[in-house]
Copies of this chain bind each other. A is one copy, B any other.
Amino acid sequence: MSARLTAADPALLEALTFGADGLIPAIAQDATTGEVLMMAWMNRETLAMTLAEGRMVYWSRSRQEVWRKGDTSGDRQLVREAWVDCDADVLLFRVDQEGAGACHTGARSCFFRRLDAPA
């Protein structure tokens, strides 16, 4: 199901800007529906794991540990495409979401609460 991804441009990988905490934001978007599923963080190590394993591996800030998404829940995120923004300080992954969804609440997307009132 998962596969090693080839870096299109190793120089681009090298040029990524990680924050002072060594982390970069990683957005996961459903490759089929376009739904934004979640945003979490990666460090250089878990980004390399993500690209090597073809599935999303985050760095958990709360637990301060490698967070191989889906190892506990079964809801893995298989990477279809990886993109970098203009400043090279945000990552966007288009993924196939396995299982019920991305969110630990059971919701498909972590963005299930609306801040503004629907018109």
Closest Cβ of chain B to A21, distance in Å, is 9
Inside 8 A of A49's CB, which chain B residues have their CB? Answer: none
Given contacts A86-B104, A86-B105, A104-B86, whether A115 and B7 have CB atoms under 8 Å apart is yes
Nearest Cβ distance between residue A2 and chain B, in whole angstroms? Answer: 13
Contact A33 B34 (CB under 8 A): yes
Query: 1/0 per position for A14-41, CB-CB distance to B under 8 A?
Result: 0000000000010101000111101100
Copies of this chain, tallied across the complex: 2
Q: How many residues on A have C-beta within 8 angstroms of the other chain's C-beta atoms? A: 41
Answer whether residue A66 sits at the interface, using C-beta atoms and an 8 A cutoff: no
B85 adjacent to A118 (CB under 8 Å)? no
In A84-107, which residues have CB < 8 Å from any B CB? 84-87, 90-92, 103-105, 107
* Residue pair B39, A27 in contact (C-beta under 8 Å): yes
A→B interface (CB under 8 Å): 5-9, 12-13, 25, 27, 29, 33-36, 38-39, 51, 79, 81-87, 90-92, 103-105, 107, 110-118
